[in-house]
Homo-oligomer: A and B are copies of this chain.
Amino acid sequence: MSVHSTITVNLGNRSYPIVIGRKLLDGGFDLSDFVTGSDCLIVSNVTVAPLYRDRVRPNLAGKKITAIELPDGESHKTIATMQTILDQLVATGANRDTTVIALGGGVVGDITGFAAACYMRGVSFIQIPTTLLAQVDSSVGGKTGVNHPQGKNLIGAFHQPEVVMIDTDTLTTLPDRELKAGLAEVIKHGAICDLQFFGWLEQNIDALLRKDPAALAHAISRSCEVKADVVAEDEREAGRRAILNFGHTFGHAIENCLGYGEWLHGEAVAAGMVMAAELSGIAESEVQRLRSLLQRADLPTVPPPIAADDWMRAMGMDKKVQQKRLRFVLLRALGDAHFTASFDVDRLRQIVGSEA
């Protein structure tokens, strides 16, 4: 038997549960109630499919299942890859009552969700995230999409899943580097709006790094709660939701300048959060507290060498830019982020190494 907890993302008639626990695969949690019709397409990648795809089948008793494997990696997060999912749906004669299931990390989830959003203008989809990053971040909140050669996630849709099923046991097969990258987003959730959780992470970072199940379960649950609350307030990122992008303006620029996949997303966000904290003008002791926790998680806290011009160009492509003005998520204090166009331009120049 599985023991699980449930967090609800409150979005009116698009509300859905996030189910978190151990032993949910192999039929431990029945997904069939969340499948609209009788047909499912499981989308996974060449790395995850051999590990987990057959273990999802018992969760879909009585449903007709087809499957497709994508190539692995951020470099394949493209419209072309998304089209292979659409082609598969067409080839099987899938209709509006088909349910598309994303099994894998954030890349699989984002591409699959976007395909589900576009196929026949929207079919149901289910997220089964198997990386820490996807469990605490990308599988929750309905953002789906693919990269453009000139910018990350420039093409996509808001499309909420029917359910998110997080089996924390899948983290046993996750490479350490990816676990740490996922912890960057967990730490982010504490840094932007939950100082108590940030303190808990300082106490428990070693347990998390050695994959202690109870510690992981708490970190994932609290992260999902934070994200669900913020998303429920502002589904389409008109305002408050932007705080979830703390560290992401710098982080996306790092990924963009190095080429996607060179640094993992969470690694870029880690260094980006320190830069954003520095730009915030909060006490250096608070910046140091963030830096220190990230360092203990073995995450980068300084960016790679990038020319100042490249920083500015890459940040100019950020989706948060409005009226050609850069805007940032900054900290009023550790645990209290806000989204603002008001920042110290000289300090920004200093941080990105511009001569000014």
Contact = CB atoms under 8 A, between A and B. Distances in A.
20 contacts: A37-B322, A86-B154, A87-B148, A93-B316, A95-B319, A95-B324, A97-B322, A97-B323, A117-B157, A118-B155, A118-B156, A118-B157, A119-B154, A120-B319, A121-B157, A121-B158, A121-B236, A122-B157, A122-B158, A122-B236
A117 B121 CA distance: 11
Contacts of A79: 79, 83
A324 B98 CA distance: 10
A90 B154 contact: yes
A122 B157 CA distance: 7
Interface residues of A, number: 38
Copies in the assembly, this chain? 2
Given A37-B323, A38-B323, A150-B90, A121 B145 contact: yes
A4 to B, nearest CB: 30
A182 interface: no
A313 to B, nearest CB: 9
A321 interface: yes
A288 B157 CA distance: 45
A303 to B, nearest CB: 22
B155 A86 contact: yes
A31 B122 CA distance: 30
A138 to B, nearest CB: 14
Contacts of A120: 154-156, 319
A96 interface: yes
A263 to B, nearest CB: 22
A236 B14 CA distance: 13
A291 B95 CA distance: 31
Contacts of A83: 79
A143 interface: yes
Contacts of A154: 86, 90, 119-120
A320 B322 CA distance: 40
Nearest to A318: B95
Contact of A121 (B38, B151, B156): B156
Contacts of A352: none
Given A121-B158, A156-B121, A317 B145 contact: no
Interface string A121-155: 11000000000000000000001010010110111
Interface string A80-97: 000100110011010111
A154 B322 CA distance: 33
Contact of A319 (B86, B91, B96): B96
Q: Which of A37, A118, A157, A323 has the most CB of B within 10 A?
A: A118
A221 B143 CA distance: 37
B148 A95 contact: no
A87 to B, nearest CB: 8
A113 to B, nearest CB: 11
